[in-house]
């Protein structure tokens, strides 16, 4: 039995953030797939909802000294990992730098992803009769709004990565968000800094192995 386990869905950007963080820290973990669409959504089943009352992935399980700690929310999970496995730290220790990195993470975590989360898109269809194309347009709108913000926010501090020359929490959030740009066909041409960061991240094993095409529940092609 491994010390860490992660409930994850291959295409979940929030799970992808944590998979990258685990990879950057070199933590081997048990992958527990939760299919968000099959059978009405496995995240909504009673057993899973007991683990994560938000009924969403990711959920991290940490077993240590006979105790099991369950944590939801990718920001909380990555912050926890920084405390129990501090090498390498993904959030800077300096208060001002830490706040800047959290700002980037929160633009994505609270300003972009929740607006096109599965349950939001389902509600748009169920209550407001939105078509697939209308849901895609909605998603593209919020992704574009977010990328406009992120390019301006990141450009002054970015070097090889979002914040300097080592990958950190901001990159864990940025790369899955950029993957959504591909999925929803958002043109990234206006965002040169974000594209450059992506090129740097895509060379690293932690990012490659965490990608939706590489994880155990990735659809077989
Ligand atoms: N803020 C949360 C977001 C978690 C989240 O929204 N997860 C999505 C997948 S990316 C989910 O499980 N959605 C299920 C649903 O909407 O039913 C985090 O950072 O962990």
* Tens of pLDDT, residues 165-203: 999 999 999 999 999 999 999 999 999 999 999 999 999
Beta strand 29-33 with 59-64 is: unpaired
HSE of 112, CA atoms in CB hemisphere, 13 A:
27
199 domain residue, yes or no: yes
Give 26's contacts (C-beta < 8 A, 6+ positions apart): none
- What is the domain-level CATH number for residue 150? 1.20.1050.10
**Is 164 found in the same domain as 120?**
yes
Q: Which is the closest atom of ligand 1 to the Cα of 58?
A: 20
Domain tally for the chain? 2
pLDDT at 220 (0 to 100) = 87
Residues 112-143 have pLDDT tens digits of 999 999 999 999 999 999 999 999 999 999 99
Residues 96-111 have pLDDT tens digits of 999 999 999 999 999 9
Give residue 42's domain range.
4-88
**Is 196 found in the same domain as 148?**
yes
Three-state SS letters, 46-67: HHHHHHCCCCCCCEEEEEECCE
Does residue 76 carry a pLDDT above 90? yes
Per the omega criterion (within 30 degrees of 0), is the bond before 54 cis?
A: no
CA distance 90 to 73: 16
**Is 116 found in the same domain as 76?**
no
- What is the domain-level CATH number for residue 32? 3.40.30.10
Residues 22-33 have pLDDT tens digits of 999 999 999 999
Mutate to test the pocket of ligand 1, among 32, 39, 56 (most ligand atoms within 8 A of CB): 56
- Which of 88, 113, 139 terminates a domain? The answer is 88
CB distance 144 to ligand 1 below 6 Å? no
Q: Which is the closest atom of ligand 1 to the Cα of 17?
A: 19
- Which of 52, 67, 88 terminates a domain? The answer is 88
| pTM of full prediction above 0.95 | yes
Does residue 221 carry a pLDDT above 80? no
- Which of 72, 88, 104 terminates a domain? The answer is 88
Mutate to test the pocket of ligand 1, among 37, 117, 177 (most ligand atoms within 8 A of CB): 117
Q: Which is the closest atom of ligand 1 to the Cα of 122?
A: 16
């Amino acid at each position: 039995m491994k010390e860490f386990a992660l409930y994850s869905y291959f295409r979940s950007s929030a799970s992808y953030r944590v998979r990258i963080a685990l990879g950057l820290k070199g933590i081997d973990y048990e992958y527990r797939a939760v299919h968000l669409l099959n059978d009405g959504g496995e995240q909504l089943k009673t057993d899973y909802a007991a683990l994560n009352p938000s009924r969403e992935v990711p959920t991290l399980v940490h077993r240590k000294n006979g105790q099991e700690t369950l944590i939801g929310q990718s920001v909380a999970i990555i912050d926890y990992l920084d405390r129990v496995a501090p090498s390498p730290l993904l959030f800077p220790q300096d208060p001002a730098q830490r706040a800047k990195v959290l700002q980037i993470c929160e633009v994505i975590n609270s300003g972009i992803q929740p607006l096109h989360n599965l349950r939001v898109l389902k509600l748009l269809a169920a209550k407001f009769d939105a078509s697939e194309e209308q849901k895609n347009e909605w998603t593209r709108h919020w992704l574009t709004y977010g990328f406009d913000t992120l390019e301006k926010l990141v450009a002054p501090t970015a070097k090889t990565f979002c914040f300097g020359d080592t990958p950190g929490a901001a990159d864990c959030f940025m790369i899955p968000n950029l993957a959504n740009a591909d999925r929803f066909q958002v043109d990234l041409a206006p965002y040169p800094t974000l594209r450059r960061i992506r090129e740097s991240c895509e060379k690293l094993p932690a990012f490659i192995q965490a990608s939706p095409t590489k994880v155990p529940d990735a659809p077989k092609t």
